[in-house]
Amino acid sequence: MVESNRGAARVLVVDDNKVNRLLLSRSVELQGHHPATAENGRLALEMLRAEPFDLVLLDIEMPEMDGFAVLEALRADAQLRDLPVLVTSSLEGMDSAVRSITLGAVDYLNKPVNPVLLKARIAATIEKKRLRDELKAMVRRFATSQVVQDVQESGFALGGKSVVASVMFADIRGFTPLVESQSPEETIDLLNTWYTLMFDAIQGHDGVVNQMIGDGLMAIFGAPVPLDDHATCAVRAAIEMIDLVEMFNAERESAGKPPIRIGVGIASGTMVAGYTGTSKRATYTCVGDTVNLAARLESHTKEAGRAILIDAATREGIGNAFVLESLGGVQLKGKASAVEVYAVTL
């Protein structure tokens, strides 16, 4: 809900007829909502793309861009396709109503609109949107916005597909002794702060955190939404993560708490990405050798004494954008042969 007062919604009234605009705006206002107006479909779309609204009252017969074209444009726009639209029109015949509903309108109200019916429709539609917004917010606590978008666009189906992406594993070094030296509340507080900082860095570089396991996390760059420079994004995110941890440590130090250290492993290549689980409970994840390699690299940061380790494919993907140090061929656990490993110099 786009609210300024509790329960008040922003409603866009789109009508080329001034009397209708005034009258519909008045009805909206009398219900305690905030109306804005547009004289045609083109202006309406500009406003809808520039600022958030909760509901559109849309006329059909308009110059420049009619109501049908607006409905089609909204349906094609991932950001606006869920915005509820009530069509208000005095076009004759059933065809306009059928076409409006088919194009996604919530309802079709004939003009002059019965004020009691309009009031009920506005209230019900805004309430339904509020509940949907709440549900979306709740879903986003458990799934990333990219995954939500992917499911909305492609539908949910268990199964995977081959993608080329970069995978990152990160965790807090020496977490177990740290947990043992502080209260459970402090531990949860520490984890929440750590996740907040890491999410900011990862999402800020178009990555998706798809797993949180204790003090560790797994992030994907390039799936479910493809990313051309996934390796560069992953390394940039890792460097920012280290910087944020340093700032966090300065705060901890002033509070008399020990600093934390993190390790990050990044590998790039082909992997299988998709939804695993059951039809009732599933998660979006990636599996394959590349994913295993990233996990091994993260684990190897302890022995290597480096914060960020990457594989040869990631190195190839980032070009000369970063200063790297070759650690040569490293025999990682679970790998049949030695793997070329590079440390990112901070």
Partner 1 sequence: MCGLLPPLFPRMNAMTTPTPIDIATFEALKQTTGADFAAELADTFLAEAPAMLAELGRARDAADAERFRRTAHSLKSNSMTFGALGLGTMAKSLELSGVSAVGRGDVPSLDELAAEYARVAAALKGLAHG
Does position 30 bind partner 1 by CB under 8 A?
yes
Q: Which stretch binds partner 1 (CB under 8 A): 37-45, 89-97, 281-289, 320-328?
A: 89-97
91 binds partner 1 (CB under 8 A): yes
Rule CB under 8 A: say whether 32 interacts with partner 1. Answer: no
**Is residue 88 within 8 Å of residue 11, measured between CB atoms?**
no
**Which residues share a beta bridge with 283?**
276
Residues 132 and 84: beta-carbon distance below 8 Å? no
> With CB under 8 A, what is the number of residues at the site for partner 1?
18
Q: Which of 1, 16, 206, 257 binds partner 1 (CB under 8 A)?
A: 16
DSSP 64: S
CA-angle at 97, arms to 96 and 102, nearest 5°: 100
Torsion, Cα 248 251 253 255, to 10 degrees, reads -140
**Residue 117 contacts partner 1 per CB under 8 A:** no
- Residue 326 backbone class (left: φ over 0; alpha: ψ -120 to 50; beta: rest): beta
Amino acid, res. 132: R
- Does position 187 interact with partner 1 (CB under 8 A)? The reply is no
Nearest approach, Cβ of residue 98 and partner 1 (Å): 19
Q: Which of 89/290 has CB closer to partner 1?
A: 89
Binding of residue 17 to partner 1 (CB under 8 A): yes
| Structure-token pair, residue 21 | 């605009």
Largest interatomic CA distance in the chain: 78
Between 24 and 197, name the residue whose CB sits nearer to partner 1: 24
Q: How far is the CB of 70 from partner 1 (least distance, A)?
A: 16
306 with 284: CB under 8 angstroms?
no
Q: First-to-last CA distance in the chain?
A: 43
Q: Is 63 in the site for partner 1 (CB under 8 A)?
A: yes
> Of the candidates 9, 13, 23, 97, which one interacts with partner 1 according to CB under 8 A?
23
Q: Name which position in 92, 95, 180, 228 contacts partner 1 (CB under 8 A).
A: 92
Site for partner 1 in 280-319 (CB under 8 A): none
Q: Which position among 31, 43, 47, 90 is part of the footprint of partner 1 (CB under 8 A)?
A: 90
Cβ-based nearer residue to partner 1, 109 or 318? 109
Confirm or reject binding of residue 335 to partner 1 (CB under 8 A).
no
CA distance 320 to 337: 27
Euclidean distance between CA atoms 163 and 271, whole angstroms: 6
The 8-class DSSP code of residue 250 comes to H
Which one of the spans 10-18, 128-136, 275-283, 312-320 is the region binding partner 1 (CB under 8 A)? 10-18
**Could you list the residues that contact partner 1 (CB under 8 A)?**
16-20, 22-23, 26-27, 30, 61, 63, 90-92, 111-112, 115
